[in-house]
Chain A
């Protein structure tokens, strides 16, 4: 079975940093695009970033550019999201998701992890 397990969330002050991890299993990790999608409390889904299998195509939502960095380790089957200069409005559950059927770097999302909660507050 496919499993995506996120970790690294928690409470952080505005302006602080956090690194999220997503551990993947149950599929051939190095053949899939990986994505981060977030959901603020009581709100809808917002795509954050994506990285293709070879880490040579990386994309970010405009509001995350320059603050967030997505990366992956194919040997360890891990994907990361480094978040810097965090703002109160970044408070959300962050899900990692496996992408497929990609077109120009955009994919549909086959499987999702349960997410990890990031709370930005003083």
Chain B
């Protein structure tokens, strides 16, 4: 089973700043099959990025994903008020189980 470790646990930033979230895998993720999700309180998660760097439908271009192998990054170039939420990475590069990182909470400074 691939274990995903996200850092930092909490990130405190101001609107307009750049956010960089990390996801590290315990072993290489096949074909960069890594996704990122955003979850706001009381809501279902929303797909942001798949294939490590492809934006999902209707996701603003201030969101970008990068990385390969075991190290992946989600970058939000200029934070908007609606971006403050919890973010999860997920790998789907191997036979189940699908695994998620423990999440990074992005909060307003």
Contact = CB atoms under 8 A, between A and B. Distances in A.
Looking at chain A's contact residues, the main secondary structure is strand
A108 B88 CA distance: 12
B92 A103 contact: yes
Contacts, number: 78
B75 to A, nearest CB: 19
B44 A50 contact: no
B92 A106 contact: yes
A60 B35 CA distance: 20
A50 B92 CA distance: 12
Contacts of B27: none
Looking at chain B's contact residues, the main secondary structure is loop
Interface residues of A, number: 26
A16 interface: no
Contacts of A106: 33, 91-98
Interface stretch (B15-23, B46-54, B77-85): B46-54
Interface of B: 30-31, 33, 35, 37, 39, 43-47, 50-51, 56, 88, 90-103
Interface of A: 35, 44-47, 50, 59-62, 95, 101-115
